[in-house]
Chain A
Amino acid sequence: MSAVVEHHDHDHGPKKGLTRWLFTTNHKDIGTLYLWFSFLMFLTGGAMAMGIRAELFEPGLQLLDPIKYNQLVTMHGLIMIFGGVMPAFVGLANWLIPMQIGAPDMALPRMNNLSFWLLPSAFTILLSTAFMEGGMPGFGWTFYAPLSTNYPNIAYFVFAIHIMGISSIMGSINVIVTIMNMRAPGITLMKMPLFVWSWLITAYLLIAVMPVLAGAVTMLLMDAYFGTSFFDAAGGGDPVLFQHIFWFFGHPEVYIMILPAFGITSHIISTFSRKPLFGHASMVYAMVSIAVLSFVVWAHHMFTVGMPLVAELFFMWATMLIAIPTGVKVFNWVATIFKGSITYETPMLFAIAFVVLFTIGGFSGLMLAITPADFQYHDTYFVVAHFHYVLVPGAVFSIMAAVYYWLPKWTGNMYDETMGKLHFWLSFIGVNVTFFPQHFVGLAGMPRRYADYALQFAEWNAISSIGAFLFGASQLLFLYIVVKSVFAGKKATAQVWDGARGLEWTVASPAPYHTFEIPPKITKSTKV
């Protein structure tokens, strides 16, 4: 019995060496692990994107054969979603939620460590297929049956997804339990910072849909290797069923990758406008509405698959409804900026770019939601442009904004503002040069997921590739800036940004290894 008790109370700093990271139960360490892992995956998936854009630089087949091309496209998608964006947000949740609600740590610290370490295991399994006969999955990240059920090595893909799912579910349970159970007395639900709110909703979505994804890959595995007929019409099943199950997961998944970005943007815009956020409560209600609606719009990904007219109409209207809460959010951000005393530090630049470019991605989403129009747009580069606009200058920009915004709190050093601004402008130009032309080639009819294309798309594709190389290269600058700020830089004050509100700014920079072992006192005047 004593062995259990002995260790825990007199041990306040981090352990030395590698074991600190392997065995840690500290939310800040785990957050750091998540963030570095996601950056590694971001570079891996990014390298694949560079390969894709190099192939598409001019018509004809240059570097890759069509199978390798499809494998790169598939792995790029899987790695960026499950390895890049999602773990980055979990990393931010780990770092910030306990500090923002005045908790000593996450509610279930050992499970927290497990949630992280399952990810390298899962990606080892997924990437091991690169060294096998038959190679990596090449059926697109959506792995539609029956293409996927007839593909080599899908069992490795299936079990990798299972482990990622377990990791996500455990991580989300941890987030919800932390938020529900660990808030300092006085932080009522409606007083909760918006990043915390956004993660509460995200975690709920994750727990609701990751098991559905697990079901989908299980059915796939059974169909592929055990002779079941879920997606096989010869036995009475239906390949369209796969799409329904997949997108029942897939659409909430889209919001899983954007809701935390909403939270981050709200904090940053309010800080650098030096005004409290306009419409805190309506932001919460908007996120809840978006989450609820996300469960009833999935079939807008499948308008061309052959559904009854009633279903097409229902999913069209339901999808368009999402524009309302999203509009509320954009309105509130703009209203927060309005008449603020604004300064344009790097996080603010990324946040403003987020609002503008995410809105562009949202508008192209509205275009895609119109069923008859979607018959033209479906599976073209217009779709690629749309979801890259919401994911790259959307989710990824918000993650970068968050890193710049909270980095001084994490490392105790200010990052290099000039270099940060340079990184922003290079990324901003790069991302638009890459993805804006894809709207044009898409509307002109260029299909996605092909290694080659017709001659008339050549110019815009060349431009798009140049933009992609610029964007890719500028992320090395980001790496340099972050590493530099870990080791050196102007010392940051506890407050860091003069307009910042929230409990995390009340502790020293860098934040002590353990914060809020005793809950902070929250009074009416405390800004949370």
Chain B
Amino acid sequence: MATESKSPEKYYIPDQSRVPIIFAVAALFAGFGAASAVQGNGTTILYMGLVAVIATMAYWWYLVTKESQAGLDTPQLNNSYVYGMAWFIFSEVMFFFAFFGALFYIRTIAIPWLGGEGPTAKGLAGELLWPEFEATWPPMITPEESLLGENAITKGPDESMYLKSFSSVLTWLPLWNTIVLLSSSGTVHFAHVALKQNNRKRFNFWLAITVFLAFVFVILQALEYYEAYAHLGLTLNSGVYGTTFFMLTGFHGMHVLIGGIFLLTQLVRSSGFKHFSEKEHFGFEAASWYWHFVDVVWVCLFLFVYIL
């Protein structure tokens, strides 16, 4: 019966659905609740909203998967998903672009100007406002600290996450994280190759390794954050270095977590429900694209946040 409704000419337009508007109401609760929580007005609405958002999203994807298994995806509909995913990843790229842009601006313009260089009146900000501030990257002493010392509210970190803060390269977690994430990009590719050769067992194996590496990365990053807070005096509030470090790596870490769950879902679909064939497996392909994207962001992070 699945094939009855499938005609090659006809694009599948889903019937009315309650899911989108439920999602919109859930988003209303999540957004309003998040704002209330941030402003200290309680977290109940936020949690209600988040549970509703996650549940609706899960149900929506379940529905799409079910439709796809019922054979409703024409090649043209599948194409829509391919384009849609590609443009979604582009939007994610632009989100990170904003934060990298902020980092580059701070490093090449804001800090030197605070240190006494200037566009027109040379040294104005430095001489008048922060005469003692020295422009270095990372700034271990914030401009405010250079003026007020111990009384400053925003103080720099004790140590940075750059390699020079570590006695041995072996204890430098970012390197291990890089190795883990780069290997996972390889393993997800092996999984893809196995799938295209219709070798489900090998596919599941490599995909499982990838998921495992994803969660290893998240755990290592949690360890790294613990190190930063407990031993390096590096926190979200350690001036602009702490700010950019945690915001960039934090958003990346969140995306790794999302990507890991995305891949795990595909693993469950393949091993538990025997979804995917050597020709049709866009759910997995989308997850692997997303994974490669997360990987590329990490390479940029590793270069610009940890090394250069």
Contacts and interface: CB of A to CB of B under 8 A. Distances in A.
Contacts of A158: 35
**Which of A2, A153, A174, A229 has most chain B Cβ within 10 Å?**
A229
Interface stretch (B106-114, B161-169, B225-233, B277-285): B106-114
A235 B142 contact: yes
B80 A211 contact: no
Nearest to A307: B119
A385 interface: no
A237 interface: yes
A159 B271 CA distance: 38
Interface string A306-329: 111101000000000000000000
A215 B240 contact: no
A158 B32 CA distance: 10
Contacts of A111: 20
B58 interface: no
Nearest to A114: B20
Contacts of A160: 31
Interface residues of B, number: 82
Contacts of B242: 228-229
Given A121-B24, A159-B35, A237-B106, A19 B16 contact: yes
A4 B63 contact: yes
Interface string B50-66: 00000000001001001
Interface stretch (A84-92, A216-224, A469-477, A499-507): A216-224
B87 A173 contact: yes
A24 B129 CA distance: 59
A207 B87 contact: yes
Given A155-B34, A225-B39, A237 B16 contact: no
Contact of A121 (B2, B27, B152, B247): B27
Interface string A225-253: 11111101111111011001100100000
A518 B9 contact: yes
Given A25-B14, A110-B14, A182-B11, A237 B28 contact: no
A240 B90 CA distance: 26
Contacts of B127: none
Contacts of A174: 84
Contacts of A153: 35, 39
Contact of A215 (B38, B39, B88, B95): B95
A117 interface: yes
Most chain A CB neighbours (cut-off 10 Å) among B17, B36, B91, B244: B91
Contact of B31 (A113, A159, A228): A159
B221 interface: no
Interface in B8-44: 9-21, 23-25, 27-28, 31-32, 34-36, 38-39
A249 B92 CA distance: 15
A268 B300 CA distance: 48
B28 A125 contact: yes
B280 to A, nearest CB: 17
A311 B113 CA distance: 15
Interface stretch (B97-105, B182-190, B194-202, B260-268): B97-105
A8 B5 contact: yes
A228 B114 contact: no
By size class, the interface of chain A is 35 or more
A190 interface: no
A214 B92 CA distance: 11
Given A8-B14, A169-B91, A306 B119 contact: yes
A105 B14 CA distance: 10
B83 A181 contact: yes
A46 to B, nearest CB: 25
Nearest to B97: A212
A7 B120 CA distance: 69
Given A4-B63, A105-B13, A518-B9, A159 B18 contact: no
Contact of A241 (B25, B94, B110): B110
A373 interface: no
A235 B154 contact: yes
Contact of B240 (A22, A103, A121, A236): A236
A240 B109 CA distance: 10
Interface string B291-305: 000000000000000
Contact of A125 (B20, B35, B83, B247): B35
A498 interface: no
A520 interface: no
Interface in A144-200: 153, 155-156, 158-160, 162-163, 166, 169, 172-174, 176-177, 180-182
Interface string B215-249: 00000000000000000000011011111101100
B83 A177 contact: yes
A306 B120 contact: yes
A292 interface: no
A228 B236 contact: yes
A117 B72 contact: no
Contacts of B241: 236
A25 B16 contact: yes
B13 A8 contact: yes
Given A1-B66, A4-B66, A4-B67, A211 B98 contact: yes
B231 to A, nearest CB: 20
B83 A241 contact: no
Given A211-B98, A228-B243, A238-B106, 4 more contacts: A8-B12, A219-B247, A230-B106, A234-B154
9 contacts: A5-B1, A212-B95, A219-B99, A226-B236, A227-B236, A230-B244, A233-B125, A245-B101, A309-B120
